[in-house]
Amino acid sequence: MKIILGSNSPRRVSLLAQMGYTFGQRIAEIEEQINPTLPYHEIPESIAIQKFQNLSPGLTENELLICADTLVFLNDQILSKPRDTEEAQHMLKELTGQEHIVITGVCLGNLDLKTTFSEQTKIFFGTLSDYQIQYYVNEYSVLDKAGAYGIQDWIGLIAIHRIDGSYTNVMGLPTQKLYQHINNYQ
């Protein structure tokens, strides 16, 4: 079985490689649509399904396609990828001192079968000063990350004092659960 990662995320690439898989990559050329009528915990899965549907017509026999989407939820607010550094700063100011949830939805499948699942992780974010937020936004790549932060970055080291759930889920791929699902296709 040949694995195809339907993502351009360097973190997802790294995590899947660290899991020991050799894989190809394809990128879904879609504008992600958030359906506001869905319960919040179903939204990342629905976007992963959109990516899967975009890429699955190109699947061949013996290929397993994996697509994912990660979103940050602060109360009833969805924090996806910021459009610019100003929005990134605003998101981080909203997150400072707050608990929030990170959900990654995954859709994987082949020509015969499709599976979807999601993983939730609760993050306990410490208080950040305006200077710390400005430093992080200026020195790190924040525009390609839901909620404008990466747990594996400097901000994760200095601001996140506790997580409840999967660390790799916050990076963009719930590896333990994904590993179990991949094994179902072998």
Contact 94, 133 (CB under 8 A): no
Catalytic residue among 69, 76, 144, 153: 69
Alpha helix positions (H), the chain: 10-18, 43-55, 85-95, 130-139, 154-159, 167-171, 175-184
Contact 100, 74 (CB under 8 A): yes
Question: Torsion over CA of 86, 87, 93 and 97, rounded to 10 degrees?
Answer: -150
Between helix 85-95 and helix 130-139 the angle, nearest 10°, is 140
Q: What is the DSSP letter of 122?
A: E
Q: Round to the nearest angstrom and report the end-to-end CA distance of the chain.
A: 7
Q: Is 76 a catalytic residue?
A: no
The rounded distance, in Å, linking the Cα atoms of 119 and 122 is 10
Q: Which residue numbers are catalytic?
A: 69
